[in-house]
Amino acid sequence: MRKQNNKGLFFKFRVLFYMTAAAWCLLTAGRFHAARSFWKNIEKEPEPALTSMEFRYEKKFQNTLSHYRFFGSLYQSEYSSPVPGLKATDILGKSCGQMVPQGICIAGDYMLITAYDSGEITGKNTRRKMYPSALYVLSNQNPKERRLLTTIILPDVNHVGGVAFDGANVWIAKSTDRQCSVISYERIREAVDSGKSSVELLNYDQNVPCGVIASFVTWHDNKLWVGTYTNRISGNGWLRSFQVEKETGVPKENGESGHSFTLQKQDEIVIPGFANGASFVKRGEKTYLAVTTSRGRYFDSRVYFYEVYQDIYTGKNVYYSYSSCRFPPMAEELICDGDSTYFLFESSATCYSTPVYRKCSYPVDRICAVSTWKLFRQNQSGAWQRNDMGSVGKQTLLHPGATLQRGQKMQAYFHSISGRKDRTQDLFRDFRWGIFGINAVCLPWLKRPSDGRYCLQGHSHRPRWRRHRSKDSPARYAAPQKAFAGVWDLLL
Instruction: Identify whether 387 is part of a domain.
Output: no
CA distance 165 to 170: 5
Check whether residue 295 and residue 181 sit in a common domain: yes
Check whether residue 317 and residue 436 sit in a common domain: no
Compute the Cα dihedral for 233, 234, 236, 238 and give only its sign: negative
Check whether residue 87 and residue 219 sit in a common domain: yes
Average pLDDT on 11-17 reads 72
Cα of 459 vs its chain's centroid, Å = 43
Bridge partners (DSSP) listed for residue 304: 291, 324
Average pLDDT on 449-469 reads 36
Instruction: Identify whether 45 is part of a domain.
Output: no
Is a pLDDT exceeding 70 seen at residue 310?
yes
Check whether residue 320 and residue 243 sit in a common domain: yes
Beta carbons of 196 and 150 less than 8 angstroms apart? yes
CA distance 137 to 135: 6
Instruction: Identify whether 15 is part of a domain.
Output: no
Which of 334, 356, 376 terminates a domain? The answer is: 376
Straight-line distance from the first to the last Cα atom of the chain, in angstroms, rounded to the nearest whole number: 119
The 10s digit of each residue's pLDDT in 245-280 is: 988 867 665 556 678 999 999 999 999 999 999 999
Beta carbons of 53 and 148 less than 8 angstroms apart? yes
Q: What is the mean pLDDT of the chain?
A: 76
The 10s digit of each residue's pLDDT in 356-372 is: 778 899 999 999 999 99
Check whether residue 328 and residue 477 sit in a common domain: no
Give the model's pLDDT for residue 87: 93
Q: How many domains are there within the chain?
A: 2
Check whether residue 233 and residue 351 sit in a common domain: yes
The 10s digit of each residue's pLDDT in 197-229 is: 999 999 999 999 999 999 999 999 999 999 999
Beta-carbon contacts of residue 416 (< 8 Å; ≥ 6 apart): 392, 393, 394, 433, 434, 436, 437, 438
Which of 376, 391, 416 terminates a domain? The answer is: 376
* CATH code for the domain of 258: 2.120.10
Which domain range does residue 69 map to?
58-376
CA distance 103 to 278: 11
Residue 7: other Cβ atoms inside 10 A: 10
More confident residue, 470 or 46: 46
Check whether residue 166 and residue 278 sit in a common domain: yes
Beta carbons of 104 and 112 less than 8 angstroms apart? yes
Beta-carbon contacts of residue 257 (< 8 Å; ≥ 6 apart): 248, 249, 250, 251
Instruction: Identify whether 306 is part of a domain.
Output: yes
Residue type at position 447: K
Instruction: Identify whether 382 is part of a domain.
Output: no
Check whether residue 106 and residue 219 sit in a common domain: yes
Check whether residue 278 and residue 408 sit in a common domain: no
Give the model's pLDDT for residue 258: 74
Average pLDDT on 311-321 reads 89
Instruction: Identify whether 194 is part of a domain.
Output: yes
Pick the range with the lowest mean pLDDT from 256-260, 299-303, 415-419. 415-419
Check whether residue 360 and residue 299 sit in a common domain: yes
Check whether residue 257 and residue 332 sit in a common domain: yes
